[in-house]
Structure formats: C-alpha cells, structure tokens
Amino acid sequence: MGNRVAREDYEWVYTDQPHADRRKEILAKYPEIKSLMGPDTRLKWVVCMMVAIQFLAFYMVKDLDWKWVLFWTYGFGSCINHSMTLAIHEISHNAAFGNNKALWNRYFAMFANLPIGLPYSASFKRYHLDHHRYLGGDGIDVDIPTEFEGWFFCTRLRKFVWIILQPLFYAVRPLCINPKPITRLEVTNVAVQLAFDALLCWLWGAKPVVYMLAGSMLGMGLHPISGHFIAEHYMFLKGHETYSYYGSLNLLTFNVGYHNEHHDFPSIPGCRLPMVKKIAAEYYDDLPQYSSWVKVLYDFIMDDALSPYSRVKRKLKGDVKQE
C-alpha cells in the first residue's frame, strides 16, 4: 500500500478537445440526431418522485436505532442522493424545462437539491458548463484535481483515502482553481437549503438530518456509483480523456455513463444518449469503455501508474468566456 505513483504531472496536450470535431462530423453524417435535442419531459416527474421518496425516508428513520439509521443511510439514502446529484446534472443542461425556461430549471434544481442537504446546485451549473466548454482547461476546469491532490495522494492507501474524501475535494476545488463572484441564485440556493435543513431538524430531530447529509457524503465517496467520477475522464489509456460506461448502474444515474456521447451532445438528455450511440455506433463502439464502476475504483487504487495526476490538461488559447 506504500508504492508511490510514478506520475509527477498531468498529461499536457496541445490539441483541442475531441468532442467538438466529432460532434460536427456525426451531425454531418446523421443530421437526424438533432431531433434528439431538447428537454426530457419525464425528468421533472422522476425528480419529484425521488424527492418524495427521500421525504418519506426522513420520516421513517426518525424513530430508528442509530445502527439502522446508518445502515439505511449507506444502503439506500446514499444511492438516492447520488442519483439526485446526477438529476441536477441533467437539469444544469436545461433538460427539465428546456432552454427557453432557463430560470425554471435553476429553481427546480434547488428543489431537487433539498434532500441532498448541501447547497450546491446553483454553483454546479456555473462550473459544469465551463467543464464542457473548456475540458481540461488549465485554471478553468475544476473537475481536474489540484496540484496538491496529485502530489499527496500518490500511494494506494492515499488514493483510497482520496476516493473517500471526493465530496470534500469537489467542494473545495473551485475555490482553489477558479473562484467566482457569488451570484444571487447561489445566495438563494444556500438560504433555501439551510432553511429546509433547519425545518427538518425541528420537525423530526437529528436522525433524518444525519441520514441526509451522511448519505450524500457516503454516496459520493467510497460507493459503487461514485466510480463514475474516476471513469469519466481519468486517463487509463494514453491519448484518451473521456470514457463511457455501459453497465446497469446507468439506470440509477440518468445514463451519465454514456459520457463520450454526453460530451459530444450535451444538449441531448441522458434518456436519449443510447439512441446517439445506436445511430452513430461506428464512432463509439471502438472507443475505450467500461462495464463496471467498481472495477474502475479498484484499478485506480491498485494500479501504481494511476493517480489524481492522470488527467489530460491543456493551456487555453484566445478569449475564455466563463459562466
């Protein structure tokens, strides 16, 4: 567990990200893919159902022994809350109400944020669109680990700890890499979330609050679903910076595993990404792909060639227009 990773820097490249060129090529060959763009009419109802399920869970855990609170927190709450973060990911692309009702999407994301316990939906949207536009961009893409993460988490044991602490680093990283002025929507997000958390504690006590917050932290740390954090962009094979996963956990994650397809067509909601792969199969079938997020986590920890430094990074040219 003490072997050090050989990497001492990111994989610096001097080419543009591949997704824009592939998108143009695919659309030229298969223009019918444009018909897949637009909102997912079922998304808002699925999100409402998930929020209602978590509200019911809050009520049910309030009288349980602590051991059962913790059991259901990891076994159930963590799955729902991680899935909810990926619903917010969908909403950040205006998949709930469409581009013409952008503000509706922002407030609906705050609603989806409620059972997660930590206010982040408004900030996530700002940084996530930068991630798409400037994938791997130095000083812009906060999905890239910091220099400290790459330097310190360089052994198997430390990488294991790093995966457990993923939620912490995703929260702190934007402040270190690309801090932005606080917006009114972010203030609203924080106020609404803190009011909800306080109301929940006042109504039903501490156990539902622990279930909610711990479920979010555990679900985004050492958890099978959290394998997507590593699988999406960590460079397991030299020259490839985005990878897709086609396993069954896509059913719980709004098809976020179809990640090459998503970066090629971010305006297509997750429910239709399998159709992109089917239509343009020759563009995706031969790309490196995964069938198990659990194996991705295991390989990342055990492979001494991999570390938080295993990311493609590029210096940006020209004007950078951030969200």
Cβ within 8 Å of residue 306, ≥6 positions away: 5, 7, 159, 234, 236, 299, 300
- Looking at residue 320, what is its pLDDT? 76
pLDDT tens-digit readout, 95-133: 999 999 999 999 999 999 999 999 999 999 999 999 999
The Cα 244–Cα 259 span in angstroms is: 5
CB atoms within 10 A of CB 303: 14
Number of domains forming the structure of the chain: 1
Provide the 8-state DSSP code for 3. P
**Is 207 inside any structural domain?**
yes
Q: What share of the chain is helix, strand, coil (3-state, %, to 5)?
A: 60, 5, 35
**Is 74 inside any structural domain?**
yes
- Token reading at 299: 């390989």
- Looking at residue 272, what is its pLDDT? 98
The Cα 143–Cα 232 span in angstroms is: 10
**Is 145 inside any structural domain?**
yes
24, 323 Cβ separation under 8 angstroms: no
299, 281 Cβ separation under 8 angstroms: no
**Is 2 inside any structural domain?**
no
- Looking at residue 307, what is its pLDDT? 96
**Is 319 inside any structural domain?**
no
- Amino acid type, 244: S
- Looking at residue 189, what is its pLDDT? 98
279, 33 Cβ separation under 8 angstroms: yes
- List of the chain residues with pLDDT < 50: none
Domain with 58 in it: 11-314
**Is 306 inside any structural domain?**
yes
Global pTM value: 0.95
pLDDT tens-digit readout, 7-29: 889 999 999 999 999 999 999 99
- Looking at residue 323, what is its pLDDT? 67
**Is 323 inside any structural domain?**
no
Question: What is the Cα 68 distance to its own chain's centre?
Answer: 28
* Residue burial 90-115, b: 16+ Cβ < 10 Å; e: rest: bbbbbbbbeeeeeeebbbbbbbbbbb
**Is 45 inside any structural domain?**
yes
